[in-house]
Structure 1
Amino acid sequence: MRYIHNRGTDPAFNLAAEEWLLTQTDAEIFMLWRNASAVIVGRNQNTLSQIDEVFVRERNIPVVRRLSGGGAVFHDLGNINFTFISNGTPSDKLDFNRFTAPILDALRSMGVDGSLDGRNDLVINGQKFSGNAQHFHKNRILHHGTLLFASDIADVSGALRVDPEKYRDKAVKSVKKRVTNISSHLPEPMDVTEFLDVLMARVSGEAVRDDMALRAEEVRGIEELAEQRYRSWDWNFGDSPAYNFTRSTRTPGGLLEVHMDVKKGRIEHIRLFGDYFGVRPIGDIEALLVGCPHDRAQLAQRLEKISLDEYLKGVDLSALIDCLF
């Protein structure tokens, strides 16, 4: 088993690191890492339906899709992530106990009594502190999980809050549970970096060493993958399952009701209804938006050269785009 303490906090790089180590190496691996504030969505989720788009945009919080299934989670520097990469096949089935047992043993050695709840959550006194997911690639298994240590619970609830009436799809939904931080249950206080070192030592059986870092050639390959996939709109948003979007908004120009069908992240069909006034047919705008990615910047680029007031009197570009999210 190779033990890696990845000290980078860029979410795109860290998720790329998991994929690169899974697909480009043969070693069995245990890795600990943290992300700066980010929303991480499951492989089979509709990204926009899982987040409060205004909340994450105003706070400049990255949204990144991971390889594995399951629900969306919020990461910050108070959250620790662990990854096991092991040799095996899908015929081995999903076995969460195998990979969470070393984590639970390490926590018990620190005086924290956690347990596996259901298939993939770890809890303390019924409160969730860890969600887990798995992904298979050929004869390799990737298992990863979160460990809420001293995470900002307010940001967790804020970033993952969305109006359920806006989106209609068959994508995987996130299940909200009561959560807790591990730091609240430790007999003796420690900060997150100390906890990271202790956790690595308990799982690996040895103290953290400098050679537990990613190698230079690995970093180059991971960075290239991060740029190609994990920092791209096509992967993080465009790869969402098809969905229907509906929103009714009171604007300065009147009530505006939006109905959209979106497939592969792009608008396939859109209708704009309401009691607004205009001298030009609204169908011109609808036709202009068909094929456009459901993305603020790209929608603005398509709309900025037309005189919106002639179609939707009193509705400016910013107000119209807000209605589309």
Structure 2
Amino acid sequence: MIYIPVDTLDIYHNFALEYYLASEKRFSEPVFLLWSTTPTVMLGKYQDALAELNLEYIRQHHINVVRRYSGGGTIYTDEGGYQFTFIQPDTQQMIDFKAYINTIATALNQMQIPAIATSRNDLTVNDRKISGSAQYKHNGFTVHHGSLLFNTNLEQMYDALHVDNLKLRSKHIASILERTINIQTIRPDLTNQDFAADLQQHVLATVTNLRTYQLTPTDLARIKVIAKDKFQNSQFIYGHTPTTELSKKHYFKGGGLVKFDLTVKHGILTELHLSGDFFSSIDQYLLAKSLLGRPFRPDQVRPILIQQLQQQPILGISADDLLALLFS
């Protein structure tokens, strides 16, 4: 395994670093990163920014907005929390969190933090969330990244995000504050620096052939370009909000929230927008393109959904699940 020190709180740099390691640097060994950010909201790949974010609050409090290449929900991060990243060669398209989450859970338990893996991508202590993970596939690599609430400003997190009531109701939770907890509440003896050092030590303790890699000026120059072109790109971050006639939304247990916005004219599907906090490598624009212009009937839509999900599955959600939602 290769450990790469990250000495910046710049989210655009750090996401660009992940992308660079999967697209250009391409180490043959797994890579581990541990990093933090200034106050930031991170949108999932398939999410609608206007629906997820309190944009006026974010503007007033100078909070960064970024969109991940991974699916899942919107999260808030700041200097009080930590992000971890694993990057490794992997030709499988199916999203799989287990090995990565278990690595972090084991390390936390060794630090007397009784974390357990729950749902599809969370770590909890006493049924309260301390960590969430997301993952994407790119160029034959898996990029798995997750957050850890250590001393995060939970009030600011609450104010910056709009959490879908359908998702909260499905989990029998009244609010985002009710379902989260800072790790420092559990281990008040730890400082931020202590926590990061201990976590890094425990994650890397069992690794054989560990080496550290320092980013070169050439690396940093490419990362800067990627950050500007991709992660600071306002079109990528905010996209477009479709004007539609129908909206279909459902929370799938084990799969996540899925929303379709669509327009049907004279029985023909003329507009389709897929969003949600699910996990997949699916290209929502290619999916829409393959369906637009077709009669909006189950027999016309189902074969396309099956074909698309065979190539790029959605974790915990089948083609027939999506079909049932579209025609509900």
Counterpart in 1 of 2:13? 13
Q: Residues 2 and 212 of structure 2 are in contact (CA less than 8 Å); yes or no, is this contact kept in structure 1? A: no
Partner of 1:41: 43
- Aligned with 2:55 (options 49, 53, 56): 53
Q: Give me the whole-angstrom Cα distance separating, in 1, the residues matched to 2:235 and 2:227.
A: 13
Aligned to 2:2: 2
- TM-superposed CA distance for 1:198, in Å, is 1.4
Partner-residue secondary structure (3-state), 1:119: coil
Which whole-Å deviations, capped at 9, do the CAs of 1:58-84 have from their partners, x for residues lacking one? 112111001100000001011100000
Q: Distance in 1 between matches of 2:214 and 2:241?
A: 36
Residue by residue over 1:197-237, the C-alpha shift from the partner in whole angstroms, topping out at 9 and shown as x without a partner, is 11111111299x99554332221111111111211211111
Residue in 2 that maps onto 1:104 = 105
What's the counterpart of residue 287 of structure 1?
Answer: none
Aligned partners of 2:121, 2:164: CA distance in 1, in Å? Answer: 26
Q: Flag the 1:138–1:227 CA change in 2: closer, same or farther, 3 A.
A: closer
**TM-score, normalised with respect to structure 1:** 0.67
SS at match of 1:31: strand
- The structure number with the bigger radius of gyration is 1
Q: What does 1:275-290 correspond to in 2, within 5 Å?
A: none
- Equivalent position amino acid for 1:10 in 2: D
- Is the 1:106–1:202 Cα contact (8 Å) retained in structure 2? yes
Deviation at 1:241, TM superposition (A): 6.0
Equivalence map 1:51-200=2 (5 Å):
51-91=53-93, 93-161=94-162, 176=176, 178-186=179-187, 189-200=189-200
Q: Which whole-Å CA distance do the structure 1 matches of 2:63 and 2:9 have between them?
A: 13
CA distance change for structure 1 residues 244 and 184 in 2, over 3 Å: closer, same or farther?
farther
Secondary structure at the aligned position of 2:104 is classed as helix
Maintained 8 Å contact 2:87/2:143: yes
Per the alignment, in what secondary structure is the counterpart of residue 146 of structure 1? Answer: strand
Is the contact between residue 109 and residue 115 of structure 2 (CA under 8 Å) also seen in structure 1? yes
1:244 Cα offset (Å): 5.5
Q: How many angstroms apart in 2 are the aligned matches of 1:64 and 1:145?
A: 15
Are the counterparts in 2 of residues 38 and 64 from structure 1 also a CA contact under 8 Å? yes
Structure 1 contact 6–213 (Cα < 8 Å) conserved: no
> Which residue in the other structure is 1:201 paired with?
201
- Once the two structures are superposed, residues 42-70 of structure 1 have per-residue CA deviations (whole angstroms, 9 ceiling, x without a partner) of 01111121100110011121110011000
CA–CA separation in structure 2 for the residues paired with 1:30 and 1:38: 21
Residues 206 and 197 of structure 1: CA distance in aligned 2, closer, same or farther (over 3 Å): farther
Shift in alpha-carbon separation, 1:3–1:163, aligned structure 2, 3 A: closer
Deviation at 1:137, TM superposition (A): 1.2
TM-score, normalized by length of structure 2? 0.66
- CA distance in structure 2 between the aligned counterparts of 1:15 and 1:48, rounded to whole angstroms: 22
The alpha carbon displacement at 1:24 in A equals 1.1
Residue identity opposite 2:134 in structure 1: A
* In structure 1, C-alpha distance between the alignment counterparts of 2:195 and 2:163, rounded to whole Å: 33
C-alpha offsets along residues 23-52 of structure 1, whole Å, 9 cap, x if unaligned?
112222111111100110001111121100
Q: Number of residues paired by the alignment? A: 235
- 1:304-319 matches, within 5 Å, as none
Kindly indicate whether the alpha-carbon contact (under 8 Å) linking 1:79 and 1:149 is maintained by their aligned counterparts in 2: yes
Alignment partner, residue 281 of structure 1: none
Structure 2 residue runs without a partner (length 5+): 166-174, 246-260, 263-270, 272-328
* RMSD (CA atoms): 2.9
Specify every segment of 5 or more residues in structure 1 that has no aligned partner in the other structure, as ranges. 165-174, 246-260, 263-267, 269-325
Distance in 1, matches of 2:80 and 2:152, equals: 4
**In 1, Cα distance between equivalents of 2:5 and 2:214:** 5
In 2, the alpha carbon distance for the partners of 1:6 and 1:219 equals 11
Alignment of 1:185-264 (within 5 A): 185-186=186-187, 189-205=189-205, 211-238=212-239, 240=240, 242=242
CA contact (8 A) 1:16 1:222 kept: yes
Which whole-Å CA distance do the structure 2 matches of 1:137 and 1:229 have between them?
A: 14
Secondary structure of the residue that 2:99 maps to in structure 1? Answer: helix
Structure 1 residue 190: Cα displacement: 1.6
Q: Secondary structure at the match of 1:129?
A: strand
